[in-house]
Chains A and B, each alone.
Chain A
Amino acid sequence: MLEALSALLLLAGAGFYLAGTVGLLRFPDVYARLHALTKADNLGLGLTVLGLALQADSLAAALKLLLIWPLALAASATVSHAIARRAAGLGLKPWRPEEKRP
């Protein structure tokens, strides 16, 4: 039961990572790519960590695994904000669909 739940969480996490990576490769500009990366990967990491915590040997190990998530959340939020701020400072305009269609 626990194994199945853990496997389900890990698969869902992998799915989010895949979606985030596809977004990173396919989205048109830096803001959209950041959006795809941070949103999808943060959820993917959370699900992965949760899935691994269910298989941990001890409560302490599980809590250590779970601690990774908020730390990575804080770091990724800060980093993506810094990248977006830099991009805006350089004058990169967000992509608009009408500009794409000639």
Chain B
Amino acid sequence: MNLLLDGLLVLALLWSAWRALASPDLARAVVLFIVFGLLMALAWARLNAPDIALAEAAIGAGLTGALLLDALGRLQPGTGAPAPESPAQPPANRAGRRWTGSVALVAGLLAAALAYALFQLPAPTVRLPEQVAANMAASGVDHPVTAVLLNFRGYDTLLEVAVLLIALIGLLTLGPAAGRPAAPGPANPLLKALARLLVPLMILSAGYLLWAGAHRPGGAFQAGALLAAAAVLLHLAQLLPAWASPGRLLRLGLAGGFLIFLGVAAALLAEGALLTYPPAQAGGLILLIEAGLTVSLGLILAGLFLLFAGAEERP
């Protein structure tokens, strides 16, 4: 029974990935991409990786899907109607077909080489899962994923957050979005009501995920993604204006999580290595860092959507 489910899941994943890439209709491709993200989240859940499943569903399918839909709305202003019968696919000539064939051949050979290399890999000499298990007591948390992300490999997470922040700053320097803004249109009253119902629940769930991260799947990234989704929902219901130019408070919020993380890392430099927490304070410090990250990641991810949604409101 489980084999049947997994087999269907694999087939559906391959099918939706192929259709999302091959569909000439962009709207259909975006919807298929969202479907692919949701199926991918299911696959992670089946692989007993609920942390990744949560992140994939929230970021991969939800936020990326919303961004793609938004971009699509700007490309086809006004209607969002199914595109008229456009010659999206040029008639395949012989040279084009040969080109496609050689790309497919190279990609196939690369995939075969990677699969071969995977089976040739020597057995790992360091047993990472056992090392993590042996050091859990000193990590300050009970959930191994959180222990690795925020303690044993905390500097990876620190740099990841820095990359996200730099990406957002880079986007800000680009200035107003080019292209026609999506038509605002009157707000859907039902959507407004739904946003008023769901957003408090989403904020509550984000707080829960942040707190739960210490001893079960959850944590700052998932909680931040949920906060960002709530902000996007509020914006779509026209309850939250776009952030045309972020003010001082918003800038502080965007950078705050990274600054707290960096501050903790700097304060602990005396311990010898980067981000080595004293075991007694590890739990509290991790919660502090994760709380800051939740707010900042939520603002950064929402900013990807909201900073540019306001392009039409600028002078």
Contacts and interface: CB of A to CB of B under 8 A. Distances in A.
Question: Are the chains A and B members of one assembly?
Answer: yes
Interface of A: 71, 74-75, 77-78, 81-82, 85-86, 90
Contact of A78 (B79, B80, B81, B190): B190
Given A86-B80, A90-B81, A71 B198 contact: yes
9 contacts: A71-B198, A71-B201, A74-B197, A75-B194, A77-B190, A78-B191, A81-B190, A82-B190, A90-B79
B188 interface: yes
Contacts of A86: 80
Interface residues of B, number: 11
A75 to B, nearest CB: 7
Contacts of B193: 78
Chain A binding site: helix, strand, loop or mixed by DSSP?
helix
A75 B190 CA distance: 10
Contacts of B81: 90
Interface string B55-87: 000000000000000000000000111000000
A63 B41 CA distance: 23
Nearest to B79: A90
Report the 10 A-B pairs with minimum CB-CB distance, sorted nearest first.
A78-B194, A78-B190, A81-B190, A90-B81, A82-B188, A78-B191, A74-B194, A74-B197, A82-B191, A90-B79
A77 B191 CA distance: 10
Interface of B: 79-81, 188, 190-191, 193-194, 197-198, 201
A85 B188 CA distance: 9
Contacts of A90: 79, 81
Chain B binding site: helix, strand, loop or mixed by DSSP?
helix
Contacts of A75: 194, 198
A61 to B, nearest CB: 14
Contacts of A71: 198, 201
Nearest to A87: B81
A86 B183 CA distance: 13
A46 B275 CA distance: 48
A46 B80 CA distance: 32
Nearest to B236: A82
A101 B79 CA distance: 30
A90 B78 CA distance: 10
A9 to B, nearest CB: 19
Nearest to A75: B194
Contacts of B198: 71, 74-75
Nearest to B189: A81
B185 to A, nearest CB: 9
B205 to A, nearest CB: 11
A45 to B, nearest CB: 15
A44 B191 CA distance: 23
A82 B201 CA distance: 22
A81 B197 contact: no
B222 to A, nearest CB: 17
Contacts of B201: 71
A51 B190 CA distance: 30
A3 to B, nearest CB: 16
A77 B80 CA distance: 21
A74 B199 CA distance: 13
